[in-house]
Chain A
Amino acid sequence: MEGERPASPARSSGLPAGGADGESPGGGAPFPGSSGSSAPPQGEVLDLDEDEDDLEVFSKDASLMDMNSFSPMMPTSPLSMINQIKFEDEPDLKDLFITVDEPESHVTTIETFITYRIITKTSRGEFDSSEFEVRRRYQDFLWLKGKLEETHPTLIIPPLPEKFIVKGMVERFNDDFIETRRKALQKFLNRIADHPTLTFNEDFKVFLTAQASELSSHKKQGPGLLSRMGQTVRAVASSMRGVKNRPEEFMEMNNFIEIFSQKINLIDKISQRIYKEEREYLDEMKEYGPIYILWSAPEEDLVDTLKDVASCIDKCCKATEKRMSGLSEALLPVVHEYMLYSEILMGVMKRRDQIQAELDSKVEALTYKKADTDLLTEEIGKLEDKVECANNALKADWERWKQNMQNDIKSAFTDMAEENIHYYEQCLATWESFLTSQTDLHLEEDSEDKP
C-alpha cells in the first residue's frame, strides 16, 4: 500500500509565520535531557540583532522550543532560532543553525542532479566564520552519513530521505519530491547539530563549511577503498557468526526495535493511505458542490437555499485542504522519518553485535589456543575496551533517541488531532450558520402560512 509522496506546499526556509498560527504542537512537551524545564519568560527583549523587525513574530510561543525535534511548526531560519534560544534556561545552548533551501538543477553531459544551498550560522569558536554558505548534492549527504557511521558505529545516526521512490514517480525530480527531500535533508543536518557528540564531528564541519573542491579532496582522505572493503567483509563475516552473548539490556533493546519497526512501518503506510483517501474525498466533493448550483438554476423558490448548500460544501472543501496540508506537514514527515530510523536502529544493533562478535571470536581463539596467546590477550584487552565504549555510547544514545521519539510522536499525533478538531469545527460553523439562515427564513415564511 505504498502511498504517493504527499503534496506539500512550498515552504520557504526564510521567515515563516511559525508561531503566528496560534497552534502549539504538543503543548508542554518536556525538553529532552532537561528535567522539569520551566516555561521561559515571554516577550523578552533581545539584545541580538535589534534591527530585525521580524523578531516580533517569533518571540512568543515557548512550546515551539522543542530543541531536539525539528517540528515543522518551528521557524526554521537560523536567525530566528538564535532569538528563540535566548529565552531558554537551557544548559546546553544551541549555537549551530542550519537551513537547507534553494534546490537547483544542474545539467551536465553525463547526468542531471540537484544541489541544495546550505546555510550555517554559528557562534562557535572552532568555526572560522559565523556564517557559511555551500552547495551540496544528495551524494554528499550520503558521504557524510557514511563517515558518521564509520566514526561512530554505535551511535544512532539520523536517517536520510530515500534515494528515490520506487512506485508512482513519473519523473525523478518533480516538485513535491524535491520539497519533501529538502525538508528531510534539513532535518537530517539539524539532528546532527543537536546531537551532543555528532555535532563536533570533523567531517560534519567540513560538510557544512568547505567549498566544493575542498570537500572532494577531503573525501579522498581516510581509509582507502580496499581497506573499506576489507572492513565490510569482516563485518559481514562476523555478523554471520551470530550473536551469542548479547547482554540482557541489548536483548530488550533489540526486541523493542523489532516490534517498533513493524509498527512504525504500518503507521507510515496507514498515514499515507489516509492522506490519499482524503485527497480522493476532496476531489469528489469539489464536483459535488457545483451540482447544487446547477440545480438552483431552474428552481425559483429554492435558489438561495441551494446556492447556500453549494457554498457550504465549498467551504468544507477548503477545510479539507487545510486538514490535508496539516497532515502532510505535521504527521507524515515525522512518521516517515521514524520509519527510516527503525532501519537505522537495526543497523546500529548489528554493528554493536559485530564489535562484540570480534571480541568473542578472539576470546574463543584464546580458549582453543589457536594463535599466539600474548598477542591475543593484548588484542582482547583492546577489544574489551572497544566493546565497553560501544555499548555505553549506544546505551546513552538510545535513551536520548527514545526520549526524542516519544516527544516527536506525541507532538505529531497531537498536531494531527488538533488539525482534525479544527477541520470539524470549521465545517460545523459553516453548516450551523446555514441552518440559522434557513430557519430564520422559515420563520418568516411560516408566519404567512399555517402554523
Chain B
Amino acid sequence: MEQAPLDPERQLQPAPIEPLGLPDSGLEAAVGEEAEGARDAGSGVDTMTENNFGLKKIEISVSEAEKRTGRNAMNMQETYTAYLIETRSVEHTDGQSVLTDSLWRRYSEFELLRNYLLVYYPHVVVPPLPEKRAEFVWHKLSADNMDPDFVERRRIGLENFLLRIASHPILCRDKIFYLFLTQEGNWKETVNETGFQLKADSRLKALNATFRVKNPDKRFTELKHYSDELQSVISHLLRVRARVADRLYGVYKVHGNYGRVFSEWSAIEKEMGDGLQSAGHHMDVYASSIDDILEDEEHYADQLKEYLFYAEALRAVCRKHELMQYDLEMAAQDLASKKQQCEELATGTVRTFSLKGMTTKLFGQETPEQREARIKVLEEQINEGEQQLKSKNLEGREFVKNAWADIERFKEQKNRDLKEALISYAVMQISMCKKGIQVWTNAKECFSKM
C-alpha cells in the first residue's frame, strides 16, 4: 500500500495554513512558499501570514452554482449542478487579489478528488464532503437536491471542503488537488491515470470486514469507539434538532393567524379597533421572523454535520491501521510457520501435519536431495519473509506515527470548531430572544392601548 506523498510529482510548492471555522465565501487559505521547516504534521495550526517569509496567499472560493444539462455515460439526458471555483492569489504587498484560475466542477468531481486523497493519504483524516442528499430535514425544508436553499448550502459546504484541504499541512501540497483547482479539462483523466483505484484496498471499503487483529494499537481502538459514539450522538442530535425546529416553526406560524383575525375584528370595534389592528401587525411580524431564525440554525446543523462525516474519516484511518496490523500479523504468522516447517525438515521430526508428510508416508520417503532442495526454498522464503516483516513493521510504525500526528491535529481543530459552533448557536438563540422581546413589547403596547 502506498504511503504518504513523498512523491515529488504530486507535491505542490506552497504549503498552507490556518484552518478555518466555517467559511463565508472568500475565506482565505494562506498559502506559504515555505515548505517543511515550519510545520510538522502535528502542529498543523499556526504560521502563515508571516510576512517575513514573503508568503503568497491564495484564496479559494466556490462562488456560484449553476444548473446544467448534459449527457451522462449512458448517453441519457441529466440535470446537474455545476459549481464555479475561483482561485485568487493575493499579493502580500498591496493586499490586492488577482484571479488566477476559475473553472466549473460538479459534485462527482469533488467525490473523485476525495476518493483519490483517501487512497494516497490513508494516514490523514481527510475532510468530508457535504452530504450528497439532504438528510435530517425538518419539514419545511426541501429534501430535493435541486432546491435552491440546498444548493446554496452545498456550495458553502464544498467551499469549506476545499479550504480544509488547502489548510492541511500535507494535503495542500498534492498535485492532483492543485490541478483540481487549475486544470478544467482532462482533470478526470489525469486522476484516473494515477491508477489510484487499483491501489485502493477493497477490504477497506468492505464495511463488514472484520480483521481479527490480535495486537492493535490501543489508541486506534479507542479512537474507533470514539468515532462511533460521535457519529451516533451527532445523528441523534441532528434528528431531534430537526423536530424541535419543526415545532418551533409551528408555534410561530400559528400566531400569524391572530394577525388576520384581529384585523377583521378591528373593523367592528370603535375603541379597540386601532389597538387590535396594530397588535395584529406585530403578530404577523412575529410569525414571519421564524424563517430567518431557522435558516440561521441550519448553518449550525451543517457545522455539526461536517463532524458527523468526519467521524467516517476517522474510522477510515483506524481501519487502515487495523488492516496493516492484520497484514503484519498474518505475515508474522506465515513466517513462523515456514520456520517451523524448515526446522522439521532439517531435524526430520514431523510435528505438524502436512500434505507432504502424508504423501511421504504413503508414497515413500523423499530423497535427501529433494529434502535439501525444499529446505533451500524455505530458507529463501524465510529470508524474504523476514525482510518483508521488517519493512511491514517499519511501515506500520511510520503509519502509526504519522496518523497519530494528524489525529492530534484533527482533535484540536475539532475542539475549536465545535466550541465555536456551540457559541454561535448561543448567539443565534440570543438573537431570537431579542427579536421576541421586541415584538411582544410592541404587541403589549398595542394591547394596552385597546
Contact = CB atoms under 8 A, between A and B. Distances in A.
Contacts of A316: 429
B425 A273 contact: no
B244 A424 contact: no
Nearest to A28: B448
Interface string B24-39: 0000000000000000
B103 interface: no
A302 B258 contact: no
Interface in A272-316: 273-274, 277-278, 280-281, 283-285, 287-288, 291-292, 294-295, 297-298, 301-302, 305-306, 309, 312, 316
A281 B265 contact: no
B261 A409 contact: no
Nearest to A439: B423
Contacts of A16: none
A151 interface: no
Interface in B19-64: 45-46
A428 interface: yes
Is chain A's interface secondary structure helix, strand, loop, or mixed overall? helix
A119 interface: no
A424 B237 contact: no
Contacts of B392: none
Of B46, B230, B415, B433, chain A has the most CB atoms within 10 Å of the CB of: B433
A270 B240 contact: no
Contacts of A26: 448
Given A292-B237, A434-B426, A428 B244 contact: no
Given A267-B258, A287-B240, A278 B429 contact: no
Contact of A291 (B237, B248, B268, B411): B237
B229 A438 contact: no
B271 interface: yes
Contacts of B46: 450
Interface string B424-450: 011101100110110011011001101
A295 B440 contact: no
A406 B450 contact: yes
A34 to B, nearest CB: 16
Interface in B251-292: 251, 254-255, 257-258, 261, 264-265, 267-268, 271-272, 275, 279
A432 B411 CA distance: 27
B233 A294 contact: yes
A270 B257 CA distance: 7
A431 B443 CA distance: 24
Given A266-B261, A309-B425, A427-B433, A274 B255 contact: yes
A428 B435 CA distance: 10
B268 A255 contact: yes
A27 B449 CA distance: 11
B430 A428 contact: yes
B203 interface: no
B250 interface: yes
B445 to A, nearest CB: 8
Interface in A429-451: 431-432, 434-435, 438-439, 442, 450
Interface in B304-340: none
A284 B237 contact: no
Given A287-B240, A302-B415, A417 B447 contact: yes
Nearest to B412: A301
A149 interface: no
A295 B233 contact: yes
A259 interface: yes
A298 B268 contact: no
A414 interface: yes
A425 B206 CA distance: 53
B419 A302 contact: yes
A284 B237 CA distance: 11
A280 B250 contact: yes
B430 A277 contact: no
A139 B257 CA distance: 37
B429 A427 contact: yes
A102 interface: no
A359 B364 CA distance: 136
B374 interface: no
Nearest to B263: A263
B186 to A, nearest CB: 40
Contacts of A302: 415, 418-419, 422
B450 A301 contact: no
Contacts of A284: 240, 243-244, 246-247
Of A287, A425, A431, A438, chain B has the most CB atoms within 10 Å of the CB of: A431
A173 interface: no
A413 interface: yes
Contact of A435 (B250, B430, B450): B430
B251 A277 contact: yes
Contacts of B226: 298
Of B237, B267, B437, B441, chain A has the most CB atoms within 10 Å of the CB of: B437
A277 B247 contact: yes
Contact of B251 (A255, A281, A432): A281
Contact of B422 (A273, A309, A439): A309
A256 interface: yes
A420 B433 CA distance: 10
B370 to A, nearest CB: 60
A281 B245 CA distance: 8
B422 A409 contact: no
Contact of A259 (B240, B254, B267, B444): B267
B236 interface: yes
Nearest to B229: A298
A316 to B, nearest CB: 8
Closest 3 CB pairs of A and B: A417-B444, A424-B436, A281-B247
9 contacts: A260-B268, A263-B265, A287-B240, A288-B240, A301-B415, A302-B415, A420-B440, A424-B433, A424-B440
Interface of A: 26-28, 255-256, 259-260, 263-264, 266-267, 270, 273-274, 277-278, 280-281, 283-285, 287-288, 291-292, 294-295, 297-298, 301-302, 305-306, 309, 312, 316, 406, 409-410, 413-414, 417-418, 420-421, 423-425, 427-428, 431-432, 434-435, 438-439, 442, 450
